[in-house]
Structure 1
Amino acid sequence: MTVDDDLVLRLADLAKLDVSENRLGKLRGDLTRILAMVEKLNELDLEDVEPLRYVTEAEQALRPDRAGDHLDRERAMENAPESDGVFFRVPRVI
Structure 2
Amino acid sequence: MIIDKDTLEKMAHLSRLDLDKDKEEKMLKSMNDIVEWVAKLEEVDTDGVEPLTHMTGEQSVWREDNAAKTLSHEDALKNAPKKDADFFRVPKVLE
Aligned residues: 85
Output the TM-score relative to the length of structure 2: 0.68
- Give unmatched runs, 5+ long, in structure 1: 82-87
Query: Which has more strand, going by share of residues?
Result: 2
Q: Could you say what the CA RMSD is over the residues aligned between the two structures, in angstroms? A: 3.0
Deviations 1:32-74 (A, max 9, x none): 1101100000000101101112222232222233466756x6x
> What does residue 10 of structure 2 align with?
10
State the 1:6 CA deviation.
0.6
Counterpart residue type for residue 46 of structure 2: L
- The 1:91–1:43 alpha-carbon spacing in structure 2 relative to 1, beyond 3 Å, is closer
Counterpart residue type for residue 14 of structure 2: L
> What does residue 30 of structure 1 align with?
30
Counterparts of residues 47-58 of structure 1 (less than 5 Å)? 47-58=47-58
Distance in 2 separating the partners of 1:55 and 1:62: 18
Asked if structure 1 preserves the Cα contact closer than 8 Å seen for 2:77 and 2:88, the reply is: no
Q: Structure 1 vs Structure 2: percent identity of aligned residues?
A: 29
Counterpart residue type for residue 8 of structure 1: L
> Which has more radius of gyration?
1
Counterpart residue type for residue 47 of structure 1: D
Distance in 1 separating the partners of 2:89 and 2:29: 58
> What does residue 84 of structure 1 align with?
none
- Give unmatched runs, 5+ long, in structure 2: 79-83
